[in-house]
Amino acid sequence: MTALPAAALSNGFFDLPSEMVAGASREAVVLVDARQCIVAINAAAARMFGHAQPDLLGRPLSCLIPDGLRDVHDQHVQHFTAAQQAERAPLHGEALQGLRADGQVFPVEVVVSRLELVLDGQRHTCFMAMMCDLSTQHGLRSEVAMLSERVRTVLDLTPVAIWIVDDEQLVYANRAAVHLFGVSDRAQLIGRSIYTLLHASGHVPLRSHLQSARPVKSATPAVVSGTLLRPDGQTREVDIATSALPDHGQTVLQMVIIDVTESQRQAREQSLHRVELRRLAASVVEAREEERRRIARELHDELGQRLTAMKMELFGLRAETPGPGGNGRITSMLEMVDSTVAALRRIAADLRPLMLDDLGLNAAIEWLARDAARRMDMEVTVQLGTEDPPLGPGADIALYRMVQEALTNVARHANATDVRIELRQSADELILTVRDNGHGFPDRSMRQDGRYGLLGMRERAIMLGGQLDLDNPPGGGARITVHLPLKQTRKKETP
């Protein structure tokens, strides 16, 4: 093995294969002889190290290596030479660093190749190093590591439990997830199957849920409910929102676990309270209707009979009293008694229509329609069945009150001239419809101040297991429709 002659060094001339020349323009290339002296260097390498190309020719390669790493470099050279390899795989790491002209140390990646050059008939062994400056890559890696740590910190500080699963096994859990599961360390969760953390009743919907989340189909994560199993034996009701993580393959999913135990408990309590309030309201309404019925009956039976007796006495008195003066006063008193009886009947009917008990629902609705038409100066048409629907005493008065309130609502707000009341019966429900030709319902009619009558109608319908619908049908006007299931309102059959 001989060194290249001085003439080759001074000219920087050597024979390179054409593919090396092409690559030399893009990558940093340094050629050294057996003594590790630089015999050629391309422009890219000179720029990398901050030197002029002529200044490096003939100088030892060690001038481009930091002092503390030169011994390590010599060991690499000895090992490569002894191994008789034609090329060595890329080398990088802390031990491979370059030294710029300004003294700056920077990381490099090096691929070393052995070359046999012939010059003036003599064979010379050289080594070509193709180098890459890793400063930018290291900076990017540091930045990525910093961003990763920042994201991890943000996830850890998030008050909502978050998992990341790969092939249905946990690979990450934030602090909130650790707290939710009641474990002391996230290591107790990492590596576990998500199905070991949830009750078996939720496995099938969760498995289907995970399949729908791969690949990404929607920007909005789907949500599935389940029961979480804690090591202490407690359970927590949770909602799980799953979404695929972009650029992480088909098996990596993010799962956000929301503890809904308390909200579900509150919802159950609120539902129970609503049921209790409706039962209380129903009992109050029932008691009020019973009190109205009693007062109406007493007014009709007691006070009505007394007024009738008074009228008969006045008739007798008029017959016994001679002269026009006395008869005129008695006649005035008889007229006063008649008007009192009429007012009494009206008050009793408002309290409780006695014909509802005596003649049935259809007759009561027909009387109500005639009275409304007379008092409100509008046309009221009634279409009822030939027989009264099979309702209990609580249901028939509720239905009567709904018709009464519907007519009152029309008179107050609809500015209508025509109203149609229809009561029809199907196999399993009773349908009441009240329609007018007024200006229709405004938006949110139920919630407007002063519209408590509609709310009362809805509550009565709910108490009977039915529902109330409001709409403005084609052709104008407003329509109130009440659906009552007959199985809830039917009279109990006697054995």
Q: Are 154 and 162 in contact (CB under 8 A)?
A: no
Which residues on neighbouring strands pair with residue 122, listed in sequence order? 119
Least confident of 13-27, 35-49, 379-393: 13-27
Q: Does residue 88 belong to any structural domain of this protein?
A: yes
Query: Which band of pLDDT confidence, cut at 50, 70 and 90, is reported for residue 487?
Result: low
Asked if residue 321 and residue 205 are part of one domain, the reply reads: no
DSSP 286-331: HHHHHHHHHHHHHIIIIIHHHHHHHHHHHHHHHHH--SHHHHHHHH
Q: What is the CATH number of the domain that holds 482?
A: 3.30.565.10
pLDDT of residue 323: 64
pLDDT of residue 4: 53
Domain residues for 422? 359-495
Asked if residue 254 and residue 217 are part of one domain, the reply reads: yes
Q: Does residue 146 belong to any structural domain of this protein?
A: no
Asked if residue 470 and residue 402 are part of one domain, the reply reads: yes
Q: Which residue has the higher pLDDT, 3 or 103?
A: 103
- What's the mean pLDDT when you consider all of the chain? 82
Q: Omega into 215 within 30° of 0, i.e. cis?
A: yes
What is the count of structural domains for the chain? Answer: 4
Q: Which residues contact 312 (CB under 8 A, 6 or more apart)?
A: none
Instruction: Taking residues 421-426, report their average pLDDT.
Output: 90
Asked if residue 365 and residue 341 are part of one domain, the reply reads: no
- Cα–Cα distance for residue pair 315/335, rounded to 1 Å: 11
Domain boundary among 206, 225, 259: 259
Strands 235-244 and 252-259: antiparallel
- Spatial CA neighbour of 29 closest among 138, 132, 134, 136: 132
Query: Which band of pLDDT confidence, cut at 50, 70 and 90, is reported for residue 14?
Result: very low
Domain boundary among 240, 259, 278: 259
Q: Are 376 and 407 in contact (CB under 8 A)?
A: yes
Q: Does residue 144 belong to any structural domain of this protein?
A: no
Instruction: Taking residues 341-369, report their average pLDDT.
Output: 85
pLDDT of residue 489: 54
- Cα–Cα distance for residue pair 311/318, rounded to 1 Å: 11
Instruction: Taking residues 272-290, report their average pLDDT.
Output: 83
Instruction: Taking residues 120-137, report their average pLDDT.
Output: 83
- Three state DSSP letters for 450-473: CCHHHHHHHHHHHHCCCEEEEECC
pLDDT of residue 82: 77
Domain boundary among 318, 352, 386: 352
DSSP 70-119: HHHHHHHHHHHHHHT-SEEEEE-STT-EEE-TTS-EEEEEEEEEEEEEEE
Least confident of 72-76, 364-368, 484-488: 484-488
pLDDT of residue 331: 85
* Residue 15: strand, helix, or coil: coil
pLDDT of residue 10: 41
Asked if residue 307 and residue 246 are part of one domain, the reply reads: no
Asked if residue 415 and residue 336 are part of one domain, the reply reads: no
Question: Does pTM surpass 0.85?
Answer: no
Least confident of 60-69, 143-152, 303-312, 474-483: 143-152
Asked if residue 364 and residue 468 are part of one domain, the reply reads: yes
Least confident of 16-30, 253-267, 461-475: 16-30
- Cα–Cα distance for residue pair 385/408, rounded to 1 Å: 23
Q: Are 233 and 252 in contact (CB under 8 A)?
A: no
CB contact burial 379-399 (16+ within 10 A = b; e otherwise)? ebebebeeebbebeebbbbbb
Q: What is the CATH number of the domain that holds 75?
A: 3.30.450.20
Asked if residue 112 and residue 27 are part of one domain, the reply reads: yes
Q: Does residue 444 belong to any structural domain of this protein?
A: yes
In the chain, the percentage of residues whose pLDDT exceeds 90 is 22
Q: Does residue 229 belong to any structural domain of this protein?
A: yes
Query: Which H or E run contains 416?
Result: none
Instruction: Taking residues 116-141, report their average pLDDT.
Output: 81
* Cα 440 → chain centroid: 34
Edge to edge, the sheet with strand 429-436 lists 379-383, 418-425, 429-436, 479-485, 467-471
Tokens 């014909």 label which residue?
355
Asked if residue 240 and residue 131 are part of one domain, the reply reads: no
Digit-coded pLDDT (tens) for 294-350: 888 888 788 888 888 888 888 888 877 776 666 778 888 888 988 998 888 888 878
pLDDT of residue 393: 66
Least confident of 13-22, 141-150, 253-262, 413-422: 13-22
* Residue 480: strand, helix, or coil: strand
pLDDT of residue 11: 43
Q: Does residue 192 belong to any structural domain of this protein?
A: yes
Q: Does residue 468 belong to any structural domain of this protein?
A: yes
Phi, psi of 288 (to 5 degrees): -65, -45
Asked if residue 365 and residue 471 are part of one domain, the reply reads: yes
Asked if residue 206 and residue 311 are part of one domain, the reply reads: no
Residue 291 has pLDDT above 70, yes or no: yes
Q: For the chain, how are helix, strand and coil distributed in percent, rounded to 5?
A: 50, 25, 25
- Cα–Cα distance for residue pair 397/418, rounded to 1 Å: 24
Digit-coded pLDDT (tens) for 199-214: 998 898 888 877 776 6
CA neighbours closer than 13 Å in the CB half-sphere of residue 73: 20
Q: Does residue 103 belong to any structural domain of this protein?
A: yes
Asked if residue 383 and residue 305 are part of one domain, the reply reads: no
